Amino acid sequence: MYPAAELLQTEVFARLPESMHLTDRPSTWLAARHVKMHSFLEGPSFDRAGNLWCVDLAHGRILRVDPSGNFEVILQYDGEPNGLKIHQDGRIFVADHLHGLMLLDPEHRTIRPYLQNVRREGLKGLNDLFFAANGDLYFTDQGESALENPTGRVFRLRADGQTVDLLMDGLAGPNGLVMNRAENVLYVAITHDNAIYALRMEPGGAMGKVSRFIQLSGSTAGPDGMAIDDAGNLAVVHAQAGTVWVFSPIGEPLYRIRSCAGLRTTNVAYGGVNRQSLYITEAEQGVILRAHLPYPGKLMYSHTDGLEQR
């Protein structure tokens, strides 16, 4: 249907040191999947100092990687952190499958629940999150949803920190999410449909129509984390395929970024000089990969001063 995507290579930016491998520690998340892994890296996000934050989903750890690639455990707690994004004011929000939306205090290295219920109903199991330019926080509530159990949801927590809107229900594994440059379309990775959905946003924030924007094929999983660049191109992680695809704003495949490590690519974030490098968490070997791209990533909410326009 389309010409073959240009192949881009990766390099290992950082590797979780063996001293931080947890091979004998019990993990209910790993036990449920019948696997043993020393870590499961996810949720990359850069702070203003150039540090890359990420999570270890398998063992409830919040990690920070300095610009030289050195890992540090910020805290470990009884949870399943899956996604992480940084607020404009420096607060760090974590999507936790067990506890809901969590708030991390990076200075005191503490974490506490921020949102555990919506309209008196418990959350199923959060997966990922994204801040819009106005401070609204979008997040996926995946739970154990799949094709045979399409119960996943997408929510928006307004910038007031109080108002929560249910944007979509009945999804087969909603995962990563990001908005287009104009922020009038919310892209959502639907892992178990192996597709990216486009949720159109009406003026004022009301939901418009939903369409299937990209249909992937292959992999025993599906799309995971996503990121957008300044040209409107969409980077999509293809989990368990060792691949990140980069699609044009109209859905044409431009680049295929191959993992030089394992197949369990999970999530992405733009960073580095001029934000022109894409950093990729890979969970099989516990590494962070890096690929260089022609366009810089879109400036994240964490790096704005409140004056930027959508």
Residues catalogued as catalytic:
224
Encode 220-256: b = buried (16+ Cβ within 10 Å), e = exposed.
Answer: ebbbbbbbbbeeebbbbbbbbbbbbbbbeeeeebbbb
Residues 310, 177, 297: CA angle, nearest 5 degrees: 55
Exposed/middle/buried for 32, CB within 10 Å: 0-12, 13-18, 19+?
Answer: exposed
CA distance 55 to 88: 20
CA distance 39 to 37: 5
Q: Is 144 annotated as a binding residue?
A: no
Q: Is 267 annotated as a binding residue?
A: no
| Cα of 53 vs its chain's centroid, Å | 12
Residue type, 176: G
Give just the sign of the alpha carbon dihedral 185, 93, 245, 297: positive
CB-hemisphere CA count at 13 Å for 58?
Answer: 22
306: left (phi over 0), alpha (psi -120 to 50) or beta: left
Q: Is 127 annotated as a binding residue?
A: yes
- For tokens 């404009």, the residue is 88
Number of H helices, E strands in the chain: 1, 27
* Residue in 257, 250, 125 with CA at minimum distance from that of residue 191: 125
CA distance 268 to 280: 5
* CA distances, 134 to each of 213, 228, 241, 308 (Å): 25, 17, 34, 9
List residues bridging with 185 in a β-sheet: 200
For the annotated binding site for substrate, the residues are: 127
For the annotated binding site for a divalent metal cation, the residues are: 42, 175, 224
